[in-house]
Amino acid sequence: MIEIRNMSFSRGSRKIFDNISLDIPRGKVTAIMGPSGTGKTTLLKLIGGQLRPDQGSIEMDGNNVHQLTRKDLYQLRKRMGMLFQSGALLTDINVFDNIAYPIREHTKLDESLIRSLVLMKLNAVGLRGARDLMPSELSGGMARRVAMARAIALDPVMVMYDEPFTGQDPISMGVLVNLIRSMNQSLHLSSVVVSHDVPETLSISDYIYLISDGCIVAQGSPEELKNSSDPWVQQFIAGQPDGPVPFHFSASPLMQDLLQE
Amino acid sequence: MLDQLQLTGQRVIAVFARLGQATLFLYQIIMTLPGLMLRPSLIIKQLYSTGVQTLLIIVVAGCFVGMVLALQAYYVLVDFGAEDSISQMVVLTLMRELGPVITGLLFAGRAGSALTAEIGLMKSTEQLSGMEMMAIDPMQRVMAPRILAGFLAMPLLTAVFMAVGVLGGYLVAVHGVGIFEGVYWSLAQLKVDFYSDLMNGMIKSIVFGFVIVWIAVFEGYDSVPTSEGLGQATTRTVVHGSLAVLGLDFLLTAIMFGDI
């Protein structure tokens, strides 16, 4: 479904991705994991055409995302849904109108039909009763679920989740984990989950890419990664504070620093 | 010396690069205008927030400016026994200069800063990115209605400012210092030319309105998505918008009324 080939991307002099290639197959949950600041969210923006790679290609169903005209890119985005880390809900309209917004913009459906569609989407995330609330009245977990309902409003074929579990309480996290998995199955979606929450992501993913320093350092099924002998993978999966990724930021020895005037 | 020269060169290039970005941004917005015409409700909503919500400050300021103008005119003209000409001075000053300029300055401070803050906040909370990923063009849905509404609101606000200013002058001249009412209105009518005074003032207001909303919307869209970045963008809107109004006022006055 998505093919990324030899893609490089830099911000100023900092290289974010260096010649990476990966595939996101149809109907599966693919996870992109890695430490904070490795460019996981940037990868989603590159797939969505919001950023342009320095070299290489990103294709969705054979269409090179970055060679499309503006009009064609917007057509392609109708087939993508994206859950932003912040939710990105429009703050001046209520929950119902947030879900109805993309439907009203892109279709000429009757308002009564739009109402039914919105209520079905909200029911899928368990927030039908919260339709009249404003985004400022929602908890973090509820806002993510509303954003999830909005991401599937246009019945996309692929949904990208940007850090869906960050900052969630255990109950909300459990709800989100179940929702991502169940929506993927019931709606036959292709899901891309960007996260650094290891247990939750391992529990729902079919395939995982581990990214660090602009490269894919490991990939495989959750079981393969759990059993990997690579010390970097083990440190990341087990959440060890020290290892190949050092606890201390590069600095001179402590004693030397302390004795310095 | 060479370092200073290099630094100055870098700054000049940065200014022109930013101007180029702003022009491309405007071009993108203009390209979306035909589609926007099919959605007049978007423009009407923005007309309310940029125009109607700025109305109060315009009315209050217009009234006081007209009153002060009449009072100052009286103090000067009474020495020459020409106090009957108060209305002429009030009306011409308001229509040619103070109407568009003060409305422009107030508009930059009230509506311009609000536009920048709103769009900047939409950017920092990823609402604009969210719209893009929903295949909704924020240029057409967010930027263009605000630009068009500001462009339409500014001449209307200027007209209100002028009208209220003339009424404020009337209060001071007729009920304050005792100028005959008929003299006030007849001289105001007699000495004002519809095209060279009123229309030139309105043309100025259209230019000011366009430049202010362009600056305001671009600064919001281009702001650094942090609280500090948003504050700086809002400040830049007010400073650049106000300076642009004053600079363009000189240029337009020279073209309209002078031989430059």
The DSSP symbol for B176 reads I
Question: Looking at the partner chain, which of B127, B133, B136 has a beta carbon nearest the beta carbon of A48?
Answer: B133
Does residue B136 sit at the A interface (CB-CB below 8 Å)? yes
> Between chains, do B133 and A91 touch, taking CB under 8 Å as contact?
no
Contacts of B16 (CB under 8 A, 6+ apart): none
Percentage, residues of chain B above pLDDT 90: 77
Above 70 in pLDDT, residue B188? yes
Instruction: State the Cα angle at A11 between A8 and A17, rounded to 5°.
Output: 25
Q: How many helices (H) and strands (E) does chain B have?
A: 12, 0
DSSP for B70-115 reads HHHHHHHHGGGT-GGGHHHHHHHHIIIIIHHHHHHHHHIIIIIHHH
Above 80 in pLDDT, residue B258? no
Residue in this structure with the two tokens 């692929």, named with its chain if needed? A158
Above 80 in pLDDT, residue B174? yes
Mean pLDDT of B166-186: 92
> Between chains, do A74 and B137 touch, taking CB under 8 Å as contact?
yes
Per residue in B76-128, pLDDT tens? 999 998 888 899 999 999 999 999 999 999 999 999 999 999 999 999 999 99
Q: Would you place residue B259 in the very low, low, confident or very high pLDDT band (cuts 50, 70, 90)?
A: low
Cβ atoms within 10 Å of A98's Cβ, excluding its own = 27
What was the ipTM of the complex prediction? 0.84
Q: How far apart are CA B219 and CA B237, in angstroms?
A: 7
In contact, A35 and A244? CB cutoff 8 Å:
no
Nearest Cα of chain A lies from the Cα of B117 at a distance, in angstroms, of 14
Token couple for B143: 């930027």
Per residue in B26-41, pLDDT tens? 999 999 888 888 888 8
Tell me, what's the pLDDT at A261?
Answer: 65
Does residue B126 sit at the A interface (CB-CB below 8 Å)? yes
Q: How far apart are CA A195 and CA A184, in angstroms?
A: 17
Domain boundaries, chain B: 56-252
What b/e sequence results for B190-202 when a residue is b if at least 16 CB atoms lie within 10 Å of its CB, and e otherwise?
eebeeeebbebbb
Tell me, what's the pLDDT at A227?
Answer: 86
Tell me, what's the pLDDT at B213?
Answer: 95
Above 60 in pLDDT, residue B181? yes
Tell me, what's the pLDDT at B91?
Answer: 93
Q: How far apart are CA B125 and CA B112, in angstroms?
A: 20
Residue A168, phi-psi category: left (phi > 0), alpha (psi -120 to 50), beta (remainder): beta
Above 60 in pLDDT, residue B138? yes
Task: Give the pTM.
Answer: 0.84
Q: Which residue numbers in chain A have pLDDT < 70?
A: 246-247, 261
Mean pLDDT of B233-252: 95
Nearest Cα of chain A lies from the Cα of B118 at a distance, in angstroms, of 11
Which of A79, A98, A101 should be substituted to probe chain B, the one whose Cβ sees the most B Cβ atoms within 10 Å?
A: A101
Nearest Cα of chain B lies from the Cα of A185 at a distance, in angstroms, of 22
Percentage, residues of chain B above pLDDT 70: 99
Check residues B228 and A234 and name the one with the higher pLDDT: B228
Mean pLDDT of B62-69: 95
Residue A11 φ/ψ, nearest 5 degrees = -115, 110
**Would you call A241 helix, strand, or coil by DSSP?**
coil
Tell me, what's the pLDDT at B260?
Answer: 54
Residue A149 φ/ψ, nearest 5 degrees = -65, -40
Does residue B193 sit at the A interface (CB-CB below 8 Å)? no
